Structure 1
Amino acid sequence: MVAVSAGRLSQLLGDLTAVRPPRYAALADRIRLLIGDGRVPLGARLPAERELAGALGLSRATVTAAYARLREDGWADARQGAGTFAVLPAGPARGAWLPAPPEDGAIDLAHAAPAAPPEVPAAFAAALAELPRHLPGHGYHPAGLPELRARIAERYGARGLPTEPEQVVVTTGALAGVSLALSLLLAPGRPLLVEQPTYPNALDAARGLGAQLLPTALDPEAPEEWPGTAARALRAVRPPAAYLVPDFANPTGRLLGATDRERLAADLRRARTVAVVDEAFVELGLDASPPAPFAAFAPGTISVGSLSKLFWGGLRIGWIRADADVVRRLTVALARSTMAVAVVEQLAACVLLDGIEASRAAVHARLQERRAALLGALAERLPDWRVPVPAGGLFVWCALPEPRSSALVLEAERVGVRLAPGSLFGTGHALEDRLRLPFAQPPEVLRRAVDLLALADARASGSREVAPVEADVLAVS
C-alpha cells in the first residue's frame, strides 16, 4: 500500500496561508488536482488529519472539512481503522488527466485530440467491405497485417528512410509502442534520458518500469541549447535509453533540425544509448517539413508512430519501426500481452495511409486556421502571456507571467475549461510557469475557451502557486 506522508503532501500543496477563504475548500481543490493528474497516486493513503494540519500550519478542523469535501465529491474514501484513501469519482473525470466524457459540457484543452475527419468513417466502411476476405482465418497477426506493415514501410521510405515490412510491428497506438520499446531497453533503477518538458504518459510509462528519469531541460525560447545539454548528460551518465520527440515535440512544438539530429545521433552513439523516438506528430508540419526520420541519422533507433494525431484518437493504430531482430523480440513481447491488433482497424489504417497526402493537406489547412484563432485570442485577452508560434504539432506552450499553472487549472475548471498543469509535463519542481494549450478544437470553441481562461487567470493571479511534483530524478550538472 502506498502512503503519502504529511511532509510530502505539504510540499506538493504549497503555501495555503494566503489563499482566499474558505481554506478547507482551497485545500480540497488542491488535493483533488494532485489526485486527478496523478501526483498523488490512486489508492494512496492520505496523511492523518492531525499530521497534515501540523505540516501545513492549519487547524485540524480545516483539514477535517477538506477531507469531508473530498469524500462528498468522490475523490477520497474513508475506511474504518485504516485511514483516508485517494480515489477517482464515478462519472466525469473532473480535473483528471484521463479524458472525460464530452457531455459534461466543459471545453477540453487538457488533451490534444481533434475530432475525426470525414476520411475516418469512409475508411471504416471500406474496411468492413474488405473484412470478409479475412474471416476464414484465425484473425491473429501479432506483428500486424502484412499489407499494413508494407504501407508503413513505404511511408518511411517516402520520408527518406528505406524500410522493409519486417522492420515494422503494429501496436495499439503510439503510447503502447513507447511502453513496449522502453520495456525492452530498461531494467528497474536504470536511467532514461528525457527532454523536459515532454509527454506525461511516456514519463508515467517509464516510472512504471522503475526507470530513473534523467531530465535534460529544454528552453523553448533557446532550443538551440538543448543538444548541448543532452550531450553533457549522455557523457556523464551513459543511460541505456533515451526518449525523444524531435518532430513538433509535445508540448513545445519544437522541430529538431538536421544538423542537431546529426550531432545528437553522434552523442548517442558514443554513449551507447538507444533512442526511442516518438513520431506521433511528424505529419503535422504546418510551416516547416521535418528532415529525414531520426533513425536515418542514428541507426539502431526505435521509432514509434501513430495515426491518432493526423486522423483520430479513437483509431488505435500505432507502430514501431526498428531493426528486424528487434522487431522480432518486440513481436514476441506484444503477443504475450495483447496477442494482436484488431483486423478492422488495421484495414481502415491501410485505406487512410493510401490517401495520406490529400488528408494531410486538409488537416494542415484546418489546424492553421485554428492555430491562428487561438493565437489571436490569446494576444487580445491575455497579452502578458508569452506564446511562441509553433511550426507544427497541435499545441502552443505558453509562458505565464508568474508560476501559477496549477492554480489556473483549478480556476479554469470552475468556469468550464479543462486544462493540464505545466508541471505534468516534467519532473521535479518545474514548469509551474507554463501551460500547454492545444488548438485541436474549432475556432469558435477556442475563442470561447480563451474568454473563460482570461476570467480564470484573473482569479488565479491572486492565488499562491501550487508546488508541482518532486519526482525521483537523476541530477546532472
Structure 2
Amino acid sequence: MALPPSSRTAIGSTRLERALGDWQRPGHGPAYRALAGGLRTLVLDGQVPVEARLPAERELSTALGISRTTVTAAYELLRDEGFLASRRGAGSWTALPPGRTVHGAGLSPLPADLVDSVIDLGIAAPSAPEPFLTEAMAAALAGLPRYTDTHGDFPLGIHVLRHAVADRFTARGLPTDPEQIMITTGAAGGFALLLRHLLAPAERVAVESPSYANALQALRFAGSRVVPVALQQDGSDHTDAGGWDVEGWSRTLCDAAPRLGYLIPDFHNPTGMLMSEDERRALVATARRTGTTLIADETMAELALEPDLVMPPPLAAFDPGGGTVITLGSTGKTFWGGLRIGWIRASPDLVRRIRADRASLDVSSPVLEQLAVAHLLSPEVLPQVLAHQRGRIRVQRDALVAALRAELPEWTFRTPQGGLSLWVHTPDGVSGSVLATTAERFGVWVGSGPRFGVDGVLERFVRLPYAQPADILGEAVHRLAAATATLTAPHRAEPGRTEPGSIAWTGEIALL
C-alpha cells in the first residue's frame, strides 16, 4: 500500500479551482473525465507538484459546484491511470504512473563532434562582448604584477573585485560592504560552497517549478529532498499575468519546513519572469517567519531588455537583518560563460565561515580573471558593456519570437522582459522530450522541459535560448518546425527527404 508523502504540501480547493480554470468545456466528454483530464494536465505541466495532497472529494465538489459523485469518479480514474494514490484516513495525493522516466541530468554544452553541424539551443549564455572583454584582459595583465609576488591564493577574492561587486549592489539599491562579498568560481562554485556549508543530507530545499536544471542537479548531488512550488504561467504576453505563488510558497515553507529555498527572482531561468516588489517582500517575510534561508540566484539580473523597465530592488533588500537572504551572482550570463567568476553576498560572519571551508573545494578563483571582471564592473566601463549586450540580445530575442510566431504559431510562450530564453509550451501531442530527440536529427540541440523539473513532469515544454545571432535562430526554428512536422504529420517532412522550399537534409543532420 502506498504511504502518504511527508515532504510535500496540500493543495487547497480554492487554489485548485483557480488552476483548473475552464475545465468543463463542451466536447471534453463526461464531467468526471473532463475533471480528471484537467487534474492530469496540471500534474504533467508542473502546476500541481507530484505528491501534493488533494482536497477531499466533498470539499472539491463544493468548490467546483459539482456533485461529489463526479469528483469521486474523477479521482478513481486518476488512480487507475497512476496519477493519484490514496490511503484510507490519509487522503489522496498526486503521483506519476510507474515506469515514467524522471530526468536527473543537468545541461551541458553541445558535444564537440556536433558543433559544426548542429545549432546549439541548449546553453543560455551569450558570446563575449567585444572589444570590451579583450580590453579588460589587457587591463588585467597590466595590473597583474601587483599580485605576482604573493602566493596568489585569495579565498575571499581580491579586494579590488570585492569592492567593485559591493559597489554594484549598492548602486542597484542594496547597500553592501566588501566584507559581505566572497568571490567564487562562477555561481555554480558559490552554490556548491553554500550547499556544503548550509545543507545536511536529506534536508529539504524548496525550489520553483520549473527551475534551473544545473541547480537541481547540484541539489540532487547534495542529497537534498527537493520540494517544488509551481510558478503560475499562462503563456501570454501580458506582463502582469502569472508569477510567484506567494500563497503556495507560504504553505510549502510552513508545511514542509525546508532548510533552504532556491529562487531566481530576476528574469527567471527558464521562464524569463521577473518577480514583483510585492512578491519579494512577501516571500522574504514568510521565509523569515518560518526560519528558511533563501538563496537568490541573480545571474540574469543585469539582462533587462526593455529600456523603460524599472527593476525592483534585489531580493536581499527586503531582508534588513541580513540573516534570511543569501545572493549568488556571476559574470557568465552578463559578460561571457568563459569568464568563470561569481560571488556570494551574505552576512560577514557567514562569509568568514564559508572561507574556512573553501580550501578543500577550489581554494580560490583565478586572479587574472578577477582583475578583468573588476575592470568590466567599473563605473566607466559597465554601462557600455551592458548597453552592448542588452542591445544585441534584444535583437536576438525579437528574431526568435518572430520566427516562432511565423513557423510554429500553435506554440505558446510569454515574451520575457529580460534574460536569455523563452519557455515554450508545445501543443497537444508534442512531447518536449521526444521533440528534443527528434530535433537533434534535424540539426538542433534543445533542452526538454523535464530537465527543468523535479518529478519528470513539464513534458509539454522546451527551453529556447536566444543567445545565438538572429539568422541562426531563424534557421533553428525552421528546423524545429520540420522536426515537429514529423511528430504531428509524419508524411510532411522527414530527414533524408527534400521538399520544395525546404532545407536539404544531409544524412541525419541538417548542415549549416
TM-score (norm 2): 0.70
Separation in structure 2 between the aligned mates of residue 96 and residue 364 of structure 1, nearest angstrom: 24
Q: 1:289 to 1:129 in 2, by over 3 A?
A: same
Aligned to 2:125: 113
Separation in structure 2 between the aligned mates of residue 322 and residue 391 of structure 1, nearest angstrom: 28
Aligned to 1:97: 108
Separation in structure 2 between the aligned mates of residue 198 and residue 180 of structure 1, nearest angstrom: 19
Aligned to 1:443: 470
The yes-or-no answer on 1:418 pairing with 2:445 is yes
1:154-199 per-position Cα deviation (integer Å, ceiling 9, x unaligned) = 0010011111111000001011111211222211111000000000
Matching of residues 152-171 of structure 1 within 5 Å:
152-171=165-184
Whether the 8 Å CA contact 2:244–2:279 is kept in 1: the answer is no
Whether the 8 Å CA contact 1:304–1:319 is kept in 2: the answer is yes
Whether the 8 Å CA contact 2:190–2:328 is kept in 1: the answer is yes
Aligned to 2:257: 238
- 1:374 offset after TM fit, Å? 0.3
Separation in structure 2 between the aligned mates of residue 225 and residue 327 of structure 1, nearest angstrom: 29
Aligned to 2:402: 376
The yes-or-no answer on 1:229 pairing with 2:248 is yes
How many matched pairs?
A: 370
Whether the 8 Å CA contact 1:97–1:420 is kept in 2: the answer is no
Q: 1:99 to 1:290 in 2, by over 3 A?
A: farther
- 1:125 offset after TM fit, Å? 1.2
**2:207 maps to which of 161, 169, 194:** 194
More helix by share: 1
Separation in structure 1 between the aligned mates of residue 134 and residue 479 of structure 2, nearest angstrom: 33
1:117-144 per-position Cα deviation (integer Å, ceiling 9, x unaligned) = 1111111111111112211111111100
Matching of residues 240-389 of structure 1 within 5 Å:
240-287=259-306, 288-298=309-319, 299-300=322-323, 301-354=325-378, 355-389=381-415
Whether the 8 Å CA contact 1:307–1:315 is kept in 2: the answer is yes
Separation in structure 2 between the aligned mates of residue 177 and residue 224 of structure 1, nearest angstrom: 26
Whether the 8 Å CA contact 2:125–2:467 is kept in 1: the answer is yes
1:395-428 per-position Cα deviation (integer Å, ceiling 9, x unaligned) = 1111110251011101110011111111000011
Which amino acid counterpart does residue 404 of structure 2 have in structure 1? Answer: L
Which amino acid counterpart does residue 164 of structure 1 have in structure 2? Answer: D
- 1:112 offset after TM fit, Å? 0.4
Q: 1:214 to 1:453 in 2, by over 3 A?
A: same
- 1:224 offset after TM fit, Å? 3.9
Which amino acid counterpart does residue 424 of structure 1 have in structure 2? Answer: R
Whether the 8 Å CA contact 2:260–2:292 is kept in 1: the answer is yes
Q: 1:367 to 1:333 in 2, by over 3 A?
A: same
- 1:99 offset after TM fit, Å? 4.0
- 1:220 offset after TM fit, Å? 2.1
Structure 1 gaps, min length 5:
1-94, 464-477
Aligned to 1:212: 225
Identity of aligned residues (%): 43
- 1:105 offset after TM fit, Å? 2.4
- 1:364 offset after TM fit, Å? 1.1
Separation in structure 2 between the aligned mates of residue 289 and residue 363 of structure 1, nearest angstrom: 18
Structure 2 gaps, min length 5:
1-105, 235-240, 491-512
Separation in structure 1 between the aligned mates of residue 404 and residue 272 of structure 2, nearest angstrom: 17
SS of the aligned residue for 2:391 comes to helix
- 1:271 offset after TM fit, Å? 0.8
Aligned to 2:455: 428
The yes-or-no answer on 1:452 pairing with 2:452 is no
- 1:257 offset after TM fit, Å? 0.8
1:175-231 per-position Cα deviation (integer Å, ceiling 9, x unaligned) = 111121122221111100000000011111111111000000112225246121111
Which amino acid counterpart does residue 256 of structure 1 have in structure 2? Answer: M
Which amino acid counterpart does residue 108 of structure 2 have in structure 1? Answer: W
TM-score (norm 1): 0.75
Which amino acid counterpart does residue 352 of structure 1 have in structure 2? Answer: L
Separation in structure 1 between the aligned mates of residue 330 and residue 285 of structure 2, nearest angstrom: 27
Whether the 8 Å CA contact 2:197–2:354 is kept in 1: the answer is yes
Whether the 8 Å CA contact 1:280–1:309 is kept in 2: the answer is yes
SS of the aligned residue for 1:420 comes to strand
Separation in structure 2 between the aligned mates of residue 168 and residue 236 of structure 1, nearest angstrom: 33
Whether the 8 Å CA contact 1:404–1:461 is kept in 2: the answer is no
RMSD (Å), alpha carbons: 1.7
Q: 1:97 to 1:340 in 2, by over 3 A?
A: closer
Which amino acid counterpart does residue 116 of structure 1 have in structure 2? Answer: A
Separation in structure 2 between the aligned mates of residue 312 and residue 115 of structure 1, nearest angstrom: 6
1:7-45 per-position Cα deviation (integer Å, ceiling 9, x unaligned) = xxxxxxxxxxxxxxxxxxxxxxxxxxxxxxxxxxxxxxx
Separation in structure 1 between the aligned mates of residue 115 and residue 221 of structure 2, nearest angstrom: 32
Whether the 8 Å CA contact 1:179–1:202 is kept in 2: the answer is no
